């Protein structure tokens, strides 16, 4: 019995040596950085880099797309109302707002009540009363200048 009590910890520790982790080499880090800028290594479904860990990895929009979303957002459309938004799926690329304020997909603009920034988005309908909350894309939240953990109040316009 004493032999068994001494053998069990040794067997458990022996199993631990089979699992090893290694830090990425500088070549791996260089390849990852190159993949991030060239688009290599993205998954087909979402456009997000495999193994994404940082906000920049999930936000796959280009500088040109960001500039267009900012310059387009002039809030000259029909006011749909105000909504409180949370972060939507970070793997869903682009500039969009899922909101009960619309019945069909279409172009729109949102203004952050906190920062005053305006961003052009695709408005997507979701079920619920107009007073329920909305979900906004990671890329749009970044352009609005709000923290990803915030629940920003947005003014929503249909273009």
Which domains, from first to last, does the chain contain? 27-58 (no CATH), 63-158 (2.40.40.10)
- What is the reported pTM? 0.64
Maximum Cα interatomic distance, the chain, rounded to a whole number of Å: 82
pLDDT of the residue at 135: 98
Percentage of the chain modeled with pLDDT above 70 = 61
**Local confidence band at 68 (pLDDT 50, 70, 90 cut-offs):** confident
**Is the predicted pLDDT of residue 34 greater than 50, yes or no?**
no
Mean pLDDT of 46-64: 66
At a CB cut-off of 8 Å and minimum separation 6, what does 88 contact? 96, 98, 135, 136, 137, 138
Does the CA dihedral 125-103-97-52 come out positive or negative?
positive
**Is the predicted pLDDT of residue 147 greater than 70, yes or no?**
yes
pLDDT of the residue at 82: 96
């Amino acid at each position: 019995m004493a032999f068994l009590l001494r053998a069990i910890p040794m067997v458990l520790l022996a199993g631990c040596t089979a699992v090893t982790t290694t830090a990425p080499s500088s070549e791996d880090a260089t390849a990852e950085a190159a993949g991030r800028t060239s688009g290599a290594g993205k998954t087909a479904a979402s456009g997000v880099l495999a193994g994404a860990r940082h906000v920049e990895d999930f936000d796959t929009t280009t500088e040109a797309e960001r500039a267009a979303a900012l310059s387009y957002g002039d809030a000259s459309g029909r006011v749909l109302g105000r909504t409180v938004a949370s972060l939507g799926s970070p793997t869903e690329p682009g500039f969009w707002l899922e909101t009960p304020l619309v019945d069909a997909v279409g172009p729109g603009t949102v203004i952050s009540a906190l920062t005053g920034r305006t961003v052009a988005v695709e408005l997507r309908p979701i079920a619920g009363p107009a007073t329920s909350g909305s979900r906004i894309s990671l890329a749009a939240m970044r352009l609005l200048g709000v923290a990803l953990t915030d629940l920003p109040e947005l003014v929503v316009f249909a273009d």
